[in-house]
């Protein structure tokens, strides 16, 4: 038994923040941002818009595309590090919105790799026969964590949500997922406070995401190269067998490096980073939905999804769409 993607959806907030807007906020230029990251604009959640709000729209679109209703869903898994509340988790909040009752619903906190983790978990439940249909989301209001006076980070991030519906099928489907983490890198990319630990800045109301961009960049490039090799080797595949690369959309230079590793022309890579910056765990399911809806990705093609994020966490999924 395998799980197959039977529907996808995405949501981007209405408010758009361009590089020109950022030029007025911090000491930066459109040219610098494009050259170093490939980003042109990002979408920012409205003041009263939450991760659950965005997840709901993406989920409804994915469920509609899949032709399923609330009663068909046997599990809700939401990858996010920016939940509305500590509890109930976003999965439960989303259940209530969608009128889904009784099945397991939970969040997975793995930074930018959250969606890949969520996909891996839901896939295992379907493969064992425990559930038949799962709603899997990646959603983030990461703009709420960003220091909008720090030019080295604020130009990078944006908000959004992506969703897929998975269903049991005798044909693959998700062929394999590969999930990893190494906490020794915890000081390169982090948000300082939580519930059991609060930094001085948190108490002052000024806690923000911290990133050593240069070091993150180097580890991201080498780690994503390794996960690509691991995924191909585990499935006895050659890099030329992959039809589409759907990478985490953090930085165009990281995406290019991974594409080079796969010997893939950029035309076979789904790139959205220019449109919305780094939306953390929302970026992979949003890119997938875009390319499914615009007709680039077709049934039967082989997709490689990969992500890398704070932790560090990283992972991949090989999918026969
Ligand atoms: N505008 C203009 N100048 C800037 C800006 C800016 N927005 N930001 C930094 N600079 C300056 C720096 O101050 C530095 O100036 P200096 O040489 O006078 O000291 C210079 O630009 C170069 O800075 P670097 O940090 O070395 O620039 P780099 O080429 O490494 O690019 C970047 C920075 C884009 C952040 C890059 O390191 C990167 O993409 N890192 C990975 C970040 C990432 O992808 N994080 C997320 C992965 S995990 C996740 O998704 C959560």
- Ligand 1 proximity of 312 Cβ (cutoff 6 Å): no
Q: What angle do CA 152, 153, 159 make, to 5 degrees?
A: 155
The confidence band for 198, taking pLDDT boundaries of 50, 70 and 90, is: confident
Segment 105-124 mean pLDDT: 98
Cα of 212 vs centre of ligand 1, distance in Å, is 8
Nearest CA to ligand 1 atom 26: 214
Assess whether 278 carries a catalytic annotation: yes
Please indicate, yes or no, whether the overall pTM of this predicted structure exceeds 0.85: yes
Q: What confidence score (pLDDT) does residue 15 get?
A: 98
- Ligand 1 proximity of 213 Cβ (cutoff 6 Å): yes
- What does the mean pLDDT of the chain come to? 96
The confidence band for 199, taking pLDDT boundaries of 50, 70 and 90, is: confident
The confidence band for 124, taking pLDDT boundaries of 50, 70 and 90, is: very high
Q: What confidence score (pLDDT) does residue 205 get?
A: 77
Q: Decide if pLDDT at 176 tops 80.
A: yes
Nearest CA to ligand 1 atom 20: 152
Q: Decide if pLDDT at 203 tops 90.
A: no
Q: Decide if pLDDT at 57 tops 90.
A: yes
Reduce the DSSP state of residue 61 to 3 states and report it: helix
Within 8 A by CB and 6+ apart from 59, the residues are: 9, 94, 98, 135, 137, 163
- Ligand 1 proximity of 34 Cβ (cutoff 6 Å): no
Assess whether 248 carries a catalytic annotation: yes
Percent of the chain scoring above 90 in pLDDT = 95
Nearest CA to ligand 1 atom 13: 152
- Ligand 1 proximity of 250 Cβ (cutoff 6 Å): yes
Assess whether 101 carries a catalytic annotation: no
Of 7, 215, 250, 233, nearest to 112 by C-alpha is: 250
């Amino acid at each position: 038994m395998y799980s197959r993607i039977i529907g996808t959806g995405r949501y981007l907030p209405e408010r758009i923040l361009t590089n020109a807007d950022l030029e007025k906020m911090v000491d930066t230029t459109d040219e610098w941002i494009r050259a170093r990251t490939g980003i042109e604009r990002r979408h920012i959640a409205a003041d009263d818009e939450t991760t659950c709000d965005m997840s709901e729209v993406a989920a409804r679109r994915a469920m509609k595309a899949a032709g399923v209703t609330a009663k068909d869903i046997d599990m809700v898994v939401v990858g996010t590090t920016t939940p509305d509340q500590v509890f109930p988790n976003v999965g439960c909040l989303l259940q209530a919105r969608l009128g889904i009752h009784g099945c397991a619903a939970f969040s997975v906190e793995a930074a930018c790799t959250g969606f890949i983790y969520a996909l891996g978990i839901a896939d295992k439940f379907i493969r064992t026969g425990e559930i038949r249909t799962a709603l899997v989301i990646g959603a983030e209001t990461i703009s709420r964590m960003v220091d909008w006076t720090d030019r080295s980070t604020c130009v990078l991030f944006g908000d959004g949500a992506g969703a897929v519906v998975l269903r049991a099928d005798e044909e693959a489907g998700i062929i394999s997922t590969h999930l990893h983490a190494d906490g020794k890198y915890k000081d390169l990319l982090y948000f300082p406070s939580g519930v059991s630990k609060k930094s001085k800045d948190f108490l002052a109301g000024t806690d923000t995401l911290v990133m050593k961009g240069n070091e993150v960049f180097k580890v991201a490039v080498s780690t994503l190269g390794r996960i690509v090799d691991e995924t191909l080797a585990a499935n006895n595949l050659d890099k030329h067998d992959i039809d589409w690369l759907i990478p985490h959309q953090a930085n165009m230079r990281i995406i290019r490096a991974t594409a080079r590793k796969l010997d893939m022309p950029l035309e076979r890579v789904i790139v959205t980073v220019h449109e919305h910056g780094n939306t953390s765990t929302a970026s992979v399911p949003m890119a997938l939905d875009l390319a499914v809806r615009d007709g680039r990705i077709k049934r039967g093609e082989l997709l490689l999804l990969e992500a890398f994020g704070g932790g560090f966490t990283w992972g991949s999924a090989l999918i026969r769409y």
